[in-house]
Amino acid sequence: MSAWINQTPDSSSLPPVVRGEGVYLYDKSGKRYIDGSSGPALFSLGHSHRDVLAAVHRQFDALEYGFTMDFSTEVVEALSERLVRHMGAHFGGVFYVSSGSEATETSLKAALQYHVANSQPSRTRFISRRFSWHGATLGALSVSGNMGRRRYFAHAVPESIFVSPAHAYRPPLGIKPEEIPAFAARELEQAILTHGAEKIAGFIFEPVVGGSLGVSPAPAGYAKAMRAVCDKYGVLMIADEVMCGVGRCGAWRALAHDGVWPDIMQVAKGLSGGYMPLGAVLLSKPVLERIRSAHGNLETSRTYSGHSAACAAALAVLDVLERDGLVDKVAKDDAYLRARLDEALGQIAEVGDVRGRGFFYGVEYVKDRETKEPFPAEALFNRKLKARCIENGLLIYPGGGIADGRRGDYAIVAPPFIATHAEIDEIADKLARASKQALADVRQ
Ligand SMILES: Cc1ncc(COP(=O)(O)O)c(C=O)c1O
């Protein structure tokens, strides 16, 4: 066995990848894989994009990192200005980290610091949602409702308050999908009142849930209803757009679709498109101004905050997104991707649902389409699906546990923004073939 502790659930060996180009990756044997999920919704520009590589090389040739406690750099200033321009003047500033988990840590700390600055230090608790993922570090894990990923640690992290996700395919008992916003707003208000508004610091949520629900956009009106409750009780709204943001849903901000502004927003993944590790937290003007006037600045130092090569990668990604109109392309091709997935997968009886937005789709597999009964966890359907996808030269993001924590299989389809219609066809067709093969495997 390799000395490397890899990230797969069963520590299995993985094909050695050696090269990438556009939406394709190649392993050592020369086998080609189409990247149907941009890794974990990460590689928005695909692989080995010349413009991004050139920008990172240029930065490295000049200077690897102008340490941001000693210097400002052109790239960190330019990236921040550009991010605020795209995300909205509602935001007063950006703080950089190196991952989504660290972004969550920073958002939580910023919310706590804001309340201290506001003379409300009793506001220390966070409300999150079941079936959510905000990261692997202990603080981020404390607000993550993904049962599988919490299971060995939940007893040791600060206790958060969990409310229902806004999940149209499996709504709360007795609630119709269109009733979710009103139901969720009542539930959030009840949670705040039960624990005491003076104790609640923030409400954190993914505007479009990623891995913990196999992609789930909230029904229309949900984010607005939650915003109203947060406002009523002085609770900060934290939008986790690590997976769904920076164009992935066909808009620069996923929440733009709902016409809602969060107090704090975090992005990562697509921000640097996987070329360098980078995450960012954007604070609304009032939140940042309150913190600055009381404490001078956000209190959260990081060795790598605003690393020059990472910022150069992100700036180049934004350049390409702008120049090639890729966010608009994603919005436009959303219909094509949906239609192709519906067409290729719709005839498969065990495909219970295809849902999503932009280039961020989830396919949920069930044993019975009528009752939505999932496959037993022991069937390991999603692992079998992954193996069949790999065999067919397709990379996809499969997972489980979205029905009840253990059962419930899904595959995330999230192509790079550059994917052509022909490449989308290839992804949909290969997924359909792999799905049929994996279904035959579990029937055996
Ligand atoms: C919504 C969301 N938040 C936070 C994270 C954590 O990001 P990272 O894995 O970069 O630490 C993820 C990772 O998948 C995510 O999807």
What are the pLDDT digits (tens) for 137-184? 999 999 999 999 999 999 999 999 999 999 999 999 999 999 999 999
Please work out whether the CB of residue 243 comes within 6 Å of at least one atom of ligand 1: yes
Q: State residue 194's pLDDT score.
A: 98
Residue (of 254, 190, 260) closest to 228 by Cα position: 260
Residue (of 187, 219, 217) closest to 203 by Cα position: 187
Please work out whether the CB of residue 240 comes within 6 Å of at least one atom of ligand 1: yes
Q: State residue 418's pLDDT score.
A: 98
Q: Which CATH architecture describes the domain 17-48+325-443? A: Alpha-Beta Complex (3.90)
Please work out whether the CB of residue 129 comes within 6 Å of at least one atom of ligand 1: no
| pTM recorded for the entire structure | 0.98
Among the residues of 97-137, which ranges form H helices?
Answer: 100-117
Which CATH topology does 52-323 take?
Aspartate Aminotransferase; domain 2 (3.40.640)
Among 97, 102, 133, name the best residue to mutate to test ligand 1's pocket (greatest count of ligand atoms within 8 A of Cβ): 133
Give the nearest ligand 1 atom to 240 CA. 1
CA of 211 to the centre of ligand 1 (A): 9
Which pair of structure tokens corresponds to residue 101? 């988990």
Residue (of 235, 152, 222) closest to 193 by Cα position: 235
Do 389 and 396 form a contact (C-beta atoms < 8 A)?
A: yes
Which pair of structure tokens corresponds to residue 350? 């065990």
Tokens 């436009």 sit on residue = 332
Which pair of structure tokens corresponds to residue 79? 């990236």
Which pair of structure tokens corresponds to residue 375? 């496959």
Q: State residue 11's pLDDT score.
A: 76
Give the nearest ligand 1 atom to 101 CA. 11
Give the nearest ligand 1 atom to 103 CA. 4
Please work out whether the CB of residue 100 comes within 6 Å of at least one atom of ligand 1: yes
Q: State residue 13's pLDDT score.
A: 80
Q: Over the chain, what HEC string results?
A: CCCCCCCCCCCCCCCCEEEEEECEEEECCCCEEEECCHHHHCCCCCECCHHHHHHHHHHHHHCCCCCCCCCCCHHHHHHHHHHHHHHCCCEEEEEEECCHHHHHHHHHHHHHHHHHHCCCCCCCEEEEECCCCCCCCHHHHHCCCCHHHHCCCHHHCCCCEEECCCCCCCCCCCCCHHHHHHHHHHHHHHHHHHHCHHHEEEEEECCEECCCCCCEECCCCHHHHHHHHHHHHCCEEEEECCCCCCCCCCCCCHHHHHCCCCCEEEECHHHCCCCCCCEEEEEEHHHHHHHHHHHCCCCCCCCCCCCHHHHHHHHHHHHHHHHCCHHHHHHHHHHHHHHHHHHHHCCCCCEEEEEEECCEEEEEECCECCCCECCCHHHCHHHHHHHHHHHCCEECEEECCCCCCCCCEEEEECCCCCCCHHHHHHHHHHHHHHHHHHHHHHHC
DSSP 8-state secondary structure symbol assigned to residue 4: S
Do 314 and 278 form a contact (C-beta atoms < 8 A)?
A: yes
If you take atom 3 of ligand 1, which residue's CA is the nearest one? Answer: 134
- Per-residue pLDDT for the chain (444 aa), expressed as one digit of tens each? 788 899 887 777 888 999 999 999 999 999 999 999 999 999 999 999 999 999 999 999 999 999 999 999 999 999 999 999 999 999 999 999 999 999 999 999 999 999 999 999 999 999 999 999 999 999 999 999 999 999 999 999 999 999 999 999 999 999 999 999 999 999 999 999 999 999 999 999 999 999 999 999 999 999 999 999 999 999 999 999 999 999 999 999 999 999 999 999 999 999 999 999 999 999 999 999 999 999 999 999 999 999 999 999 999 999 999 999 999 999 999 999 999 999 999 999 999 999 999 999 999 999 999 999 999 999 999 999 999 999 999 999 999 999 999 999 999 999 999 999 999 999 999 999 999 999 999 987
Pairing of strands 351-357, 360-365: antiparallel
* Sequence spans of domains, the chain: 17-48+325-443, 52-323
Which pair of structure tokens corresponds to residue 213? 């629900």
Tokens 């937005």 sit on residue = 357
Please work out whether the CB of residue 204 comes within 6 Å of at least one atom of ligand 1: no
